[in-house]
Structure 1
Amino acid sequence: CVGCFADQSTCVSNNCFFACAFGSEADCEACVAQNCQADFEVCAGIVDLDQDGESTICDCDDSDGTVYPGAPGTASGVDNNCDGVLSESEAACPLDLDGDLAVTVADVLSLLSEFGCEAGCTNDVDGDGQVSVADVLTLLSGFGTVC
């Protein structure tokens, strides 16, 4: 990649000498961005293959336009925002309470640990605000599912 830096230096001296030598720092940066940055990034392999606005340097999956730092969830079971955690909006499997991409005994035990909860229940799988027999039956209907 040393050649890329050499090419960029040549580009800056050929195209931005006056802006960088006699102008402000902002003028120099604008000139380099306009005239030299794109060629440098292509040379160095810094591209955005999936066109999501993040280059190969920052994008944790540059083959998928829905995956990049700060991306919203797509409920597809993929860590869209690259934080290493499947959030509720990313999880394709709402019955998978522990995020291991399968509905297992661990999920049943997690649900049962909140059985009888009537407010602020984190394991309310049917959306009624409480953990009851209905939640147990809903979870058991998906038992064994691999997400």
Structure 2
Amino acid sequence: MCAGCGQSTASPVVKVVDRVPAGCTSTGAMKSTLALAVLLFGSVVGACGGDGTVPVDASMDGSFDGTVDSAVDGQVGVCEGVTDGTSCGVGAFCIGGVCTAGRCGDGVLESDAGEQCDDGANGDDGDGCRDDCTFTCEADVDCDDGDSCTGVESCDIALHLCSTSGPLDCDDLDPCTIDSCDAGVGCAHDLDDGDLDGYAPATTCTTAGLMGGDCDDTNDSVFPGAPEHCDSLDNDCDGAIDEGLATLICLRDADRDRYGDPTDTVNACSCPSGYVGVRADGETDCSDREPDAYPGQPAYFVDGYCP
């Protein structure tokens, strides 16, 4: 009986049956454990007497005096205004203002009943309060999901609930990098480098000092400071093509007679289409509009000829 609890003189009435039910003694008195079950749950059980009523040892003192211990009688308001979980009798607790028998999932941990927790889950039989019932967490390590990207997990010891600091913010505010998160190591900031030449594209990363400024991120021979090649490309991204390497003088050959116009030339590593290099004999075209007019031509023409 809980300290300070009053008593009621009401006697429970139970149904008469033609046998001695389990929990009754041969003298017609109900055992205290069965009586307690009647009082707590309002169950209809077999009577131990023959007249429809039976004295019960509700006070569990062996007296069978017919009194009802109000500390375990949910009908007399002993739990009004009492904090949930307060004991109101042997194996009983105040839950929602009602004195209730301790049971699985009532939010009260009853260690003497073999409960390790009482969260209403994880039990073999679904009742959530046997020895295999475990809290979601009892320490921060219980909440660690092994994924650095989800943030730091911690356990609220009082509530046995896991919480997280939230996903990692991997944005380094650097336009030259691609930000990502690896579950094992956390944030990664790889250079945005499509051709793997060590430089990010000039379209997004303009500072060469930050490994940016690549004017062609699809060609690994083109990047700031690259050596120039005779390939008609701006290898070093300085805006000039094949500078310093143009060793050939190419003459325009508009009439395709293989003699070039000495007044129309370009310097290049190799002569582009429509141009010819300087001939070994030094001859040039005197009329680049007439394919039949060239040095050593076999005949003279009204429209032009070369002497």
TM-score range, shorter chain: 0.3 to 0.5
Structure with greater strand share of residues = 2
TM-score, scaled relative to structure 1: 0.38
What TM-score results when the alignment is normalised by the length of structure 2? 0.20
Indicate the structure with greater helix content.
1
